[in-house]
Amino acid sequence: MRTRILTLFSMLCLVVRAVGADAGYKQVLITTDTNAIHVRLPLTDVAGKVRVKKKSPGGFGLPVAPTKTRLGKAEYLEWQIGYDLPDTNSPSVVAHIQFTRKGETKYGHELSKIIFEAVRLGLLSTNELIREVKTLPHIKPADFEENQPVQIEMDTNKTPGGFQRAVQRVPQFTKITPYGWVQIQLKQKQRAVGFQAMVYVCLPMDKVLTMDGTPRPPGKAKPKETVYYDFTRENAAFLLDIIHAFGLASQQHNEDIRQILEKILEATR
């Protein structure tokens, strides 16, 4: 009986260890050195916030199986970047960047940490953040992605069997840069009626790096493979595009990102 209990305990420890390792692999990690911010991203977490897609003419991208597809110039990483968390239980949180939304305290996360570190390292200037803080309130409600209409087009001719074909056209904002592109997409709300604007940072596969800082060679992804994207002086302006995307996404995102920028300015003075 004792042997059986010890065996079960050992198996449970292995399971906990495996779950912990899997969760760690999926996390977006942000580290720095003297002149760059390194963002570690999971490459094969197809159900998570970072997915591999293939470029398509419409700009929405087609999901691919990274372990079965030769990843090269035609593919990119779509990262649903975040900027806050309700707690500090993530290595990508910067706990002293706090703001309030509807009476609840939020902590800076992912984008907030990247911007904070970019200012600290001198990749972005405080003047650039001040300019964004002054610009964002002037975006008109009609210009928010969240307020753009979703159009339904109905075919006049019925298909065989009496069905009628309809096409739903969903607006998408995209800004392309030499270092990647940022998209604002409308998605149906999961727990409410209507649509919400989501911001995605799209990183071409030929711009991502391996752990040693060299470009990732084309090829299929290995299980639980991770890659890196670096923000440096050369591409720091891309961060301003991401900030502005949140400002355009919705009124709530606009207010949140302004609060975050103001807190970063306070913390870096």
pTM summary value: 0.88
Could you read off the pLDDT of 230-264 as tens digits, one per residue? 999 999 999 999 999 999 999 999 999 999 999 99
Sheet order of strands, 226-231 included: 29-32, 37-42, 226-231
Q: What is the dihedral of CA 246, 236, 52, 182, to 10 degrees?
A: 30
pLDDT band at 87 (very low <50, low <70, confident <90, very high): very high
- Residue 200 near residue 183 (C-beta atoms within 8 A): yes
Domain boundaries, the chain: 27-140+164-267
Has residue 210 got a pLDDT over 70?
yes
Could you read off the pLDDT of 91-102 as tens digits, one per residue? 999 999 999 999
